[in-house]
Structure 1
Amino acid sequence: MTRPVVLSCGDPSGIGPEIAAKAWEHLGTSLPFVWIGDPAHLPKGTTYREVASPAEAMQIAGRAMPVLPHPFPEAAIPGQPTPANAHAVIDVIARGVDLVMRGEASAICTAPINKKVLKDGANFAFPGHTEYLAHLAGGARVVMMLACDQLRVVPATIHIALSEVPAAFTPALLRETVEITAEGLRRDFGLENPRLVIAGLNPHAGEGGAMGHEETRWINNLVKDLQTEGYAVSGPHPADTMFHAAARSRYDAAICAYHDQALIPIKTLAFDDGVNVTLGLPFVRTSPDHGTAFDIAGTGRASPASLIAALTMAARMGAARTGG
């Protein structure tokens, strides 16, 4: 690997700085990364060195955590988010994306943010990281994938009320989700013809119309169309039989209708080390699959496992995308 991963600091009052330091202690030179943030927000005693560019990280990662300094207006008090720092949190994300887009880094890994803090302090107009990153990429159509060693899942609809899902889960959305997921798995995971399964919207995938009609009305036909076009896709399958070990061995990713249908199984399998991946971007982005954890920030209890997994996956995806 010739270029490091960049790690945005996230909300500095959360566990982001703490787990960044722990991740560096674990990874060292095996996976160099450069942290973008205010060095004053790192835990006391962190061994770090300021760098002027990501390239310098490759030389010093074994001796100190490489830091691209980005001054923040306020101190970071663990567990007490500061809206005055919101603009700087957003700017760090944009700076990291710019470094990747210019080829100075192989990928970006984003530490957790708090949407309410960003909205209160900077009138942040996006539901979260994913939508903001799509905006920075010029309005790219993206999907959210959660991944671990045992499972990859993609929810077609994400942060909406369950009552809104049947109207939002349309043939056009499902087709787009399949297309973006398949391309992402080919490009970033080296899967030549990824095997995808689609979960039904209703219990028992509608059971022939006894428990809902979306499957018989349009999902079945869309799956057949996608198969005719060459996609290795099957379904709709009952969601309650898709996630045991034998079923998981038969596919590379599961496309789910809504948020909890996808996230409950992966968080059951990999609560501590799941990774959030954004597919469809012109750059590689991963994130740990957890939030800012204000309740334990500064206590030393936060596990870096998910961040380590996210950094590792980002590096592998970056290498796959460039062929290196």
Structure 2
Amino acid sequence: MPKVLRSVVTGVGGYLPERIVTNDDLAKIVETSDEWIRERTGIRQRRQAEDDQPVSDLAVEAARRALAAAGRSPDDVDLIVVATTTPDLTFPATAAIVQRKLGAPVGIAFDVQAVCSGFVYALSVADGFVARRRAKCALVIGAECMTRLMDWTDRGTCVLFGDGAGAVVLEPGEGEGAVADRGLLGFALRADGTKQDLLYVDGGVSTTRTTGYLRMQGNQVFRHAVVNISEAVVAAAADAGVEVSAVDWFIPHQANQRILEGVARRLGIDETKVISTVAEHANTSAASIPLALDQGVQDGRIKPGQLLLLEAMGGGLTWGACVLRL
């Protein structure tokens, strides 16, 4: 039988800014407490980028670590896709800035904007290049400075988010067209623009000419998250030809510990298979999945050959899931 070309993850890297902001630190500037935050979200701390540290700097550091893990250099890179909702500039794309800072050669570079779902969307987009021989070495990066979008008087949102970046290297690899193949095996991507008011930023270039602040109806987002994410996970597993129960590790978007647990329960996934970093990272939007993936690889839980299930939901509303074998 003819071989099937797959997009294979050959390297993973993550980067977190050095500055740690604890719940007690936030209690000094907004009416909240460590107990209040931990009870409702599971978050204990988050990282915050320095004022002179743009999101491209975070992305570049994560990219360098992913390339090193893959045994590649910037000279090998011919595609860069950055998932971010907090770009350095209105234009050019943060991916083009990352290309320049890495010293990568002329190639393809662009951003994907699907908020917290951005990394899953970006993987799917990059797969369209790599698995069709249009790219030989792709960097897919999720990078965010979400603290730049916070209204620090709104305790319902400012306690939830943090900054960081995660990256993977995708390269083509031959498979048999079976679930035992390494690489990206299945996707399910969704969007429902009628739910925009549940989670959005109240500013923009063509409307207010300002950056704006993040606004969220938390209870409504929670309700949609558990139901919608579960549906997408089942659909992605079906697209990959696997059962949800067959996955070795569930790597969800790190939005809220209660959402992670709710989705896992609904899908029948044992909590011991869930990679959770929300306590230390908070919600880093498009960066949260690759950061959690990197954490699992670095601490030895996630190993080559294992079946991974990724999922996320963010503003838009957008949501989606991906199944891959490392």
TM-score, normalised to structure 1, is 0.32
State the structure with more CA Rg. Answer: 1
The structure that is helix-richer by fraction is 1
TM-score, normalised to structure 2, is 0.32
